[in-house]
Structure 1
Amino acid sequence: MSVIGLIMVLGFSGMAAQIVLLRELLTVFSGNELLMGIYIALWVAGEAFGAVTAERSKRLPIAPVLGFAKAQFAFVVLFPMAILFARVWKPFLGIPVEVSSDIWQLLAVSAAVLLPVSAAHGFLFISACKIVDITKPNRGHAVGLTYSWETVGSIIGGILTSFVLVTRLNSLEIALLLAVINSIACSFLLTACQSSWLRVAVLLSSLLSISMLFAGIGELVHKNSIAWQWQGKKVVSYRNSPYQNIVVVESDGQHTLFTDGLPQITLPVPDIEYVEELAHLPLLMHQNPRDLLVIGGGAGGLISEMLKHPSVRSIDYLEPDPLFLKSILELPEDISKRELLNSKVKLIIDDGRVYLGQTGKRYDVAMINMPLPETLQSNRFFTRQFFSRLKSVLRDGGMLVVPCQGSQTYYNDELRSLNTCLLATLKAVFAGVIVVPGDRNILLAGETVFPYPDAELMSKRQVERRVETRLLTPEHLSSRLAEEEREIVSRELAKPGSSIVNQDFSPDLMYLNLAYKSLVHTRSFSTVLGFARGLHGVWLIGLLTSALLVALCVRNSRKAAITLAVAGTGMSSMLGELLLMTLFQVYYGNLFHLVGMLLALFMAGIAAGSYLATTKTVGKYSDIRIVLVLESAMIVMLLGLAFFLVALEQGGFEPVRLPALLGAVVLTGVLTGITYPVASRLYQNLEKPHITTAGTERIKGAGVMYAADLLGGCVGGVLGGIILLPALGMKGAFIALALIKVATAILFVKTLGTGSVRGACEY
């Protein structure tokens, strides 16, 4: 039981460290699923390096307990050092924290933060396999048992860290807590160790961590590092919600609220031009705006401007994160309290798509005041499907308002494509769509065609309604709505661009926005995204042809075939899980506890699968046949999901949509969980198939298979997000993954056949 507890602590600690470090990097670099894919890729690359290093270590087989203890000590020391480095590298180089970084800085810093910690964790996993092999010699399933117990610990660590630890402790306090837990767990393991100095070191480490935790040292270092990170600004508050990191800083009498490192609100002087134009241009166009809906970005002056119209009787303001609104209300400026606590304003803590599916209320004006999508999650609010939902809650004569980056001078290809894609998506739903040009275009859409805003009429309504503004004068309206400005933008947007409609399952607008944003720092990344989007179906044909040619022409290497099968499963499970989570959010919202539930189900599937691989039920079949069945099952599941999406787009399978998505998540985990221990056993038995006594040879290959699994996931997380999704959309990505698995299955059969190679295991 002490060994089981130790391995569960290993899984708990690895997952907690990964979550904390990813949050720290998101605060420094911001990010989306693509950058998250890079972060996770670096983490798993470090794990793979540590695993292979452990397997090739000549000392570890002799003294695995000693090796485990040393690696665990390295892990608990490197983790807080990585947190501090993530926070202080920018001020150390004289770079303000709010200044964006290029892709090369991101890669270098992320690697420095993640690789050492993850490498230590990967070394620990293989060390644990060796310990289990010694302590349970009659079972012969060290890899599967270790994988199963470690996954259970990861599930517990993911849930507790996401929902409890990050909301109650700062990152350094979490690091100290992990040091205490690991030191105590390691002390039980070392009772039989001959190294007295190591037992003393672990004891001192435990006592020191406990003392620092309860003496407030972690909090002190945390405050000092945050102050250094935000040099030149006073940090008023620093919090973590289950959704994001929230920081409020004060500088020159202005308070700015940041979420994940990006500025959201500045008070008491907001962006006057933006909030006045966004609030008053659509409301002055409408004859009688009464009920308004604001999705995101309402605080900070926008709602205050809307309330100036006397006809307004209700404003429903949607935000998913209650801590975000709480942080705004705690600001000393009265403007935020006046607008959010006004009796006409209703604060709704909910996901926008979920709310629209449940509400029966109708609105005169609906506004999406969110940045254009840089993530798959935010893309859900700019698709044809979401605009259709918004249309259903608008009254006759109602309008939808969507701001978009524009220009009064020049439209490059990326900016033009960004605007034309959004325009085409709105036109796919609404009969009338017009663009009010400017540095930030305002797109107005309605069920009926309405005339272009008339500056004289709007000035008249402004006077009649007694709407007082600082910038929106008759002269400003005349300039903003000038016909020559409209003609310039109309000509620009009429040029060839991207008139593709943005869809839930094909997030073209997200990739166009990423390509446009990447021009500032990394033009090469923008070029790659543009290239990927231009591939379309040609890429799918090329992928199939290339994969099959490789499978048929590669030399007959049994180990290579097994390794590629495991890597293909790792890739399919990583990208498949990402796609399934996105699908879940499309239909059921960005409710963090539900996303956490999906992760828990996936990890539970892995735990169940890895345990199933150690049972007599699976063990009575040859390992080769088990792998072939797993390959076939993965192919069928991926193709089934592609056809399932086609049916969903046509409105089918509505009653079974939820159980089907949940079942796919669990099944992906189960297939992944069985594949790794069975393939590890097969890899080892190809070389020494008759070893049955306890010893280190029985887990030979575990490190290589673990590395293949992780690196496959790395490829799936990065290349899948950068190439497959923009080129093929979700349906095409599922088909492409199935084709990759077909190729690895062909190679597997070609080199190993369908013969009988049994794991040498005792039941």
Structure 2
Amino acid sequence: MKTITDTESVSEQSKTNHSSLFLMCCTSLTGVTIQTIFLREYLTIFSGNEFIIGITWALWMLATAFGTFIGSKIHFFRNLFPSLYIISILAGLLVLRAFPLLFTPGQMLPPWSSIFCIVLTQSDPAFFGGLVFGALTQSSRTAPLYAWENCGSLIGLAITSLLLIFNAPHVYILSLVLCIFALVVQIKKPLYLIFTLILLIAILFINSVSLSWKYAFKYTSINNGTSGEIVQSGKDESLCWFLNNRIYKCKTSLPSIEQSVHLPLAMSMTSVHSVLLIENTGQLKELQRYPSLTIDCIETEPLFREKGYRYLSWPPIDTSHYDLVLCGTSVPVTASDIRYFTDEFFRKVHDLTGSDGCFSFTVQLSENYLTPEESSIKDNILTTLK
């Protein structure tokens, strides 16, 4: 027969196991959110370079693996962990946003700096996440831990994705998830809980300041688009849009934009009635000077779409003939930009224009002298066209 002491011991062990499972679930929930938010911040700072994605996941897994190993070897300070975990996350976010201050304003950050930035900002949260799993495996069965970890990941992914769809600021998403983490894990430790809530309130108050660290100019609004972070700067005729810290288009037409529209229209061998504009970086304003034109557009970022035009996906399913196809993208900087400079792209454009149509794109290079890099870009494009 079980004695009262044995029953109490079993009950206490059951409570401990449930506490461990909840801790694992909440840690996993926050981990997914941190990965998503930090990755989007990295892409903004490093101009949308997809190279960042692989580095981020690889370094995250390395730090997590190291944390799991350490957690299985040392005593786990359960009371102290949540506060250290939250501090490491918030500190990582602030350091991440302050990282561009180390470079000249407006300078495109070199690739090597991304590794340094990622290691510096996400290693601690990833390490603590692995530390929890490694420590809890000493007192709990592995199978339930995996199940609750996956459950937390799914919940975190659902919350983060839903809030991003509704354009919620990154710091609000992070604060909400960390608040959930604190309420579940620290509910029986009021002093720790109050300390955590004070930290979250403080990070919300300095959000606007930390955002300004990422940009070398004054911005009027920030939105999270499907292609990255979109920033508006200036007003009236000086209004400009930036995508992932790179200028995308301006309200005032630049000479290169005017030439990319008016020259093809003037030089076309046949009269132009229908135009397909791919990625409007300012060309649409110039095309509006020709009211007789029928204009279709392809814009991968929904927030850049203007009302009153038909938007298609690429490649267009409708094989309509266009008298003129304009491509607004310039020199490709990221892998996603290269899709408009491939053999398949040019062949599809040829199908859309036929033998009588015209295709135009503008690569902004030096006016008088081509640098070796610019000369290489020109040669690559000519080789592709041939």
TM-score range, shorter chain: 0.7 to 0.9
SS in 2 for 1:376: coil
| Residue in structure 1 matched with residue 65 of structure 2 by the alignment | 48
SS in 1 for 2:108: coil
Q: Which entry has the higher C-alpha Rg, 1 or 2?
A: 1
Task: Confirm whether residue 95 of structure 1 aligns to residue 117 of structure 2.
Answer: no
| Residue in structure 2 matched with residue 275 of structure 1 by the alignment | 257
- Is the contact made by 1:257 and 1:265 (CA closer than 8 Å) also made in structure 2? yes
Give the whole-Å Cα distance in 2 for the aligned partners of 1:235 and 1:347. Answer: 30
| Residue in structure 2 matched with residue 221 of structure 1 by the alignment | 206
Give the whole-Å Cα distance in 2 for the aligned partners of 1:20 and 1:4. Answer: 25
Q: Give 1:383 shift.
A: 2.1
Indicate which of 228, 231, 236 corresponds to 2:220.
236
SS in 2 for 1:56: coil
Q: Give 1:3 shift.
A: 4.6
Give the whole-Å Cα distance in 2 for the aligned partners of 1:409 and 1:4. Answer: 65
Distance 1:102 1:380, change over 3 A: closer
Q: Give 1:229 shift.
A: 4.1
Map 1:645-660; keep pairs closer than 5 Å.
Answer: none
| Residue in structure 1 matched with residue 113 of structure 2 by the alignment | 105
| Residue in structure 2 matched with residue 146 of structure 1 by the alignment | 145
| Residue in structure 2 matched with residue 483 of structure 1 by the alignment | none
SS in 1 for 2:359: strand
Distance 1:285 1:128, change over 3 A: farther
| Residue in structure 2 matched with residue 304 of structure 1 by the alignment | 285
Indicate which of 337, 341, 345 corresponds to 1:386.
345
| Residue in structure 2 matched with residue 367 of structure 1 by the alignment | 326
- Is the contact made by 2:330 and 2:364 (CA closer than 8 Å) also made in structure 1? no
- Is the contact made by 1:177 and 1:209 (CA closer than 8 Å) also made in structure 2? no
Indicate which of 314, 320, 334 corresponds to 1:352.
314
Q: Give 1:115 shift.
A: 1.5
Q: Give 1:221 shift.
A: 1.8
TM (norm. structure 2) is 0.83
Which residue identity lines up with residue 238 of structure 1 in the other structure?
A: I
Give the whole-Å Cα distance in 2 for the aligned partners of 1:313 and 1:251. Answer: 29
Q: Give 1:397 shift.
A: 0.3
| Residue in structure 1 matched with residue 138 of structure 2 by the alignment | 130
Give the whole-Å Cα distance in 1 for the aligned partners of 2:148 and 2:210. Answer: 35
| Residue in structure 2 matched with residue 79 of structure 1 by the alignment | 89
Q: How big is each residue's C-alpha offset from its partner over 1:182-201, in whole Å with a ceiling of 9 and x where there is no partner? A: 1222147xx7xxxxxxx344
Determine what percentage of the aligned residue pairs are the same residue: 24
- Is the contact made by 2:22 and 2:185 (CA closer than 8 Å) also made in structure 1? no
- Is the contact made by 1:257 and 1:266 (CA closer than 8 Å) also made in structure 2? yes
Give the whole-Å Cα distance in 1 for the aligned partners of 2:266 and 2:237. Answer: 33
Q: Give 1:165 shift.
A: 4.2
Give the whole-Å Cα distance in 2 for the aligned partners of 1:111 and 1:161. Answer: 23
- Is the contact made by 2:30 and 2:177 (CA closer than 8 Å) also made in structure 1? yes
Task: Confirm whether residue 257 of structure 1 aligns to residue 274 of structure 2.
Answer: no
Q: Can you give the 5+ residue segments of structure 2 that lack an aligned partner in the other structure?
A: 1-17
Q: Give 1:395 shift.
A: 4.3
SS in 2 for 1:393: helix
Give the whole-Å Cα distance in 2 for the aligned partners of 1:375 and 1:207. Answer: 39
- Is the contact made by 2:43 and 2:50 (CA closer than 8 Å) also made in structure 1? no
Q: How big is each residue's C-alpha offset from its partner over 1:79-102, in whole Å with a ceiling of 9 and x where there is no partner? A: 1221122222434x4732x32222
| Residue in structure 2 matched with residue 70 of structure 1 by the alignment | 80
Distance 1:410 1:226, change over 3 A: closer
Task: Confirm whether residue 115 of structure 1 aligns to residue 123 of structure 2.
Answer: yes
Indicate which of 271, 283, 301 corresponds to 1:288.
271
Q: Give 1:252 shift.
A: 11
- Is the contact made by 1:314 and 1:346 (CA closer than 8 Å) also made in structure 2? no
Which residue identity lines up with residue 291 of structure 1 in the other structure?
A: S
Q: Give 1:31 shift.
A: 3.2
SS in 1 for 2:380: helix
The runs of at least 4 aligned residues of structure 1 exceeding 6 Å deviation read: none
- Is the contact made by 1:173 and 1:218 (CA closer than 8 Å) also made in structure 2? no
Map 1:694-713; keep pairs closer than 5 Å.
Answer: none
Q: How big is each residue's C-alpha offset from its partner over 1:434-489, in whole Å with a ceiling of 9 and x where there is no partner? A: xxxxxxxxxxxxxxxxxxxxxxxxxxxxxxxxxxxxxxxxxxxxxxxxxxxxxxxx
Give the whole-Å Cα distance in 2 for the aligned partners of 1:314 and 1:260. Answer: 31
Which residue identity lines up with residue 153 of structure 2 in the other structure?
A: S
Task: Confirm whether residue 322 of structure 1 aligns to residue 317 of structure 2.
Answer: no
Distance 1:152 1:367, change over 3 A: farther
- Is the contact made by 2:298 and 2:314 (CA closer than 8 Å) also made in structure 1? yes
| Residue in structure 1 matched with residue 172 of structure 2 by the alignment | 173
Which residue identity lines up with residue 148 of structure 2 in the other structure?
A: W
| Residue in structure 1 matched with residue 48 of structure 2 by the alignment | 31
Q: How many residues align?
A: 367
Q: Give 1:278 shift.
A: 0.6
Which residue identity lines up with residue 294 of structure 2 in the other structure?
A: S
Give the whole-Å Cα distance in 2 for the aligned partners of 1:250 and 1:416. Answer: 34
| Residue in structure 2 matched with residue 454 of structure 1 by the alignment | none
Q: How big is each residue's C-alpha offset from its partner over 1:152-188, in whole Å with a ceiling of 9 and x where there is no partner? A: 4323323431342474432222232122211222147
Q: Give 1:399 shift.
A: 2.2
- Is the contact made by 1:50 and 1:118 (CA closer than 8 Å) also made in structure 2? yes
| Residue in structure 1 matched with residue 10 of structure 2 by the alignment | none
Task: Specify which structure has the higher proportion of helix.
Answer: 1
Distance 1:377 1:152, change over 3 A: farther
Which residue identity lines up with residue 290 of structure 1 in the other structure?
A: H
Which residue identity lines up with residue 11 of structure 1 in the other structure?
A: S
Distance 1:156 1:170, change over 3 A: same
Map 1:256-655; keep pairs closer than 5 Å.
Answer: 256-267=240-251, 269-271=252-254, 273-286=255-268, 287-296=270-279, 298-300=280-282, 302-309=283-290, 312-325=292-305, 340=306, 346-348=309-311, 351-353=313-315, 356=316, 358-407=317-366, 408-410=368-370, 412=372, 414-427=373-386
Give the whole-Å Cα distance in 1 for the aligned partners of 2:204 and 2:52. Answer: 29
Q: Give 1:283 shift.
A: 1.3
- Is the contact made by 1:387 and 1:426 (CA closer than 8 Å) also made in structure 2? yes
| Residue in structure 2 matched with residue 203 of structure 1 by the alignment | 193
Q: Give 1:275 shift.
A: 0.9
Q: Can you give the 5+ residue segments of structure 1 that lack an aligned partner in the other structure?
A: 61-65, 134-141, 192-198, 326-339, 428-763
